[in-house]
Amino acid sequence: MSDVVLITGVSGQDGSYLAEYTAARGARVIGTTRDLGATPRLPGTLSTAIELVEWDLMDKHHFSTILDRYRPTKVYNFAAFSSGEHMDLNPEAVIEINGLAVIKMLDAIKLSGAPVRFCQASSSEVFAGTGISPQSEATPRVPRSVYGAAKILADNTIKLYREKYGLFCCSAFLFNHESPRRGEGFVTKKVVRAAVQIKAGRQKKISLGNLSAARDWGFAGDYVRAMALMLKAAVPTDYVVATGVAHTVANLCERAFGALSLNYRDYVEVNPAFFRPTEAAPIVGDASRVRQELGWEPTTSFVELVEMMVDAELRADRASD
């Protein structure tokens, strides 16, 4: 029997990569969206490869009817507030969407009695206050934002439903993962876009926060592949998905501007308005477990990722001329 894959947040970066990955492997792909009329254009050939269905994440009854109607074999949850800059704004909405909505989905799956496999896009933000680095599955979850607290609520409920009710459900602790499809609120896209605009002579400077802030940046396409492996595994398990290598925002600037033969020091200004409180310890993942147990490997290095983003930005810029 071929897979029927249901993806929430399908129009976002991760949802669209996973939709492409699973559709290319013969799955019927159903993507949920809150408002069909307002759904952004899907990248590439996705608009013809997937079926869109309208669903408000807080409506558990409607999710049950979607489960009945499409009978998915796998559900991937990417629907979330994801912007790093705004992790504490509107805390109730963040808890509802990043936490409570996950519980509603799990419970609807439990009540349906169907053998649906569920994978949650969790985050390295759950480790932000831990003080231990690198972070693995064994690292205590200590949030530093409402966003992190909501993800932990979802992760704990997933573990509970797995252990108490036998659901095949798991969390992928995704460290920062980027691509040409990244939104502008994230530092990678902000830097790459500015570098291309500066090269074209349309922008003079870019203001950034802490240039020494370090992140473990990987390619989103690699990370959704890890999630697909998690739902193919014999047993449901939570995994850290990361490259294990940290780079600073300054390294990012150096690579992005360098790819355009520019020296970032000539264009980058530091603005304290973009500073965030520093983490208790560097956010770097130890992904040994997913590598050893599922054979996952990232295929794209940090340098290749930045160059891929710069190339895509240049192409988009030329196309818009």
Q: Is 136 a known active-site residue?
A: no
User: Does 84 sit near ligand G4F (CB under 6 A)?
Assistant: yes
Minimum distance from CB of 286 to ligand G4F (Å)? Answer: 14
Minimum distance from CB of 185 to ligand G4F (Å)? Answer: 6
Write out the E strands in the chain. 4-8, 28-33, 50-54, 74-77, 117-123, 168-174, 177-178, 206-208, 214-215, 218-219, 239-241, 247-248, 268-270
User: Does 186 sit near ligand G4F (CB under 6 A)?
Assistant: yes
- The answer to whether 52 and 31 are in contact (CB under 8 A) is yes
Annotate 275-287 with b (16+ C-beta within 10 A) or e (fewer): eeeebebebbbbb
* Nearer Cβ to ligand G4F (67/313): 313
* Nearer Cβ to ligand G4F (66/79): 79
Q: Examine residue 134 and say whether the peptide bond preceding it is cis (omega within 30 degrees of 0).
A: yes
* Nearer Cβ to ligand G4F (85/266): 85
User: Does 21 sit near ligand G4F (CB under 6 A)?
Assistant: no
Q: Is 125 a known active-site residue?
A: yes
User: Does 175 sit near ligand G4F (CB under 6 A)?
Assistant: yes
Lay out the site mask for ligand G4F across 92-121 (x = CB under 6 A, - = otherwise).
Answer: ------------------------------
Return the number of other C-beta atoms located less than 10 Å from residue 21's C-beta. 17
- Binding-site member from 101, 116, 187, 284 for ligand G4F (CB under 6 A): 187
Question: Which token pair is 40?
Answer: 């952004």
User: Does 129 sit near ligand G4F (CB under 6 A)?
Assistant: no
Minimum distance from CB of 254 to ligand G4F (Å)? Answer: 14
Please list the helix, strand and coil fractions of the chain in percent, rounded to the nearest 5, in that order. Answer: 45, 15, 40
User: Does 249 sit near ligand G4F (CB under 6 A)?
Assistant: yes
Question: Which token pair is 162?
Answer: 């797995």
Pick the closest to residue 218 from 140, 147, 308 (CA basis): 308
Which residue among 82, 123, 133, 145 is the active-site one? Answer: 123
- Using alpha carbons only, what angle is made at residue 90 by residues 85 and 94, rounded to the nearest 5 degrees? 80
Q: Is 123 a known active-site residue?
A: yes
Pick the closest to residue 56 from 29, 83, 79, 86 (CA basis): 79
Question: Which token pair is 183?
Answer: 């939104």
* C-alpha span between 248 and 283 (Å, rounded): 11
User: Does 213 sit near ligand G4F (CB under 6 A)?
Assistant: yes
Residue at shortest CB range from ligand G4F: 84
- Binding-site member from 34, 276, 289, 291 for ligand G4F (CB under 6 A): 276
* Nearer Cβ to ligand G4F (28/222): 222
Question: How many residues lie near ligand G4F (CB under 6 A)?
Answer: 21
User: Does 82 sit near ligand G4F (CB under 6 A)?
Assistant: yes
Pick the closest to residue 194 from 240, 271, 262 (CA basis): 262
Residues with a catalytic annotation lie at 123, 125, 147
Instruction: Give the interface with ligand G4F as residue ranges (CB under 6 A).
Output: 82, 84-85, 123-125, 175-176, 185-187, 190, 208-210, 213, 215, 249, 274, 276, 283
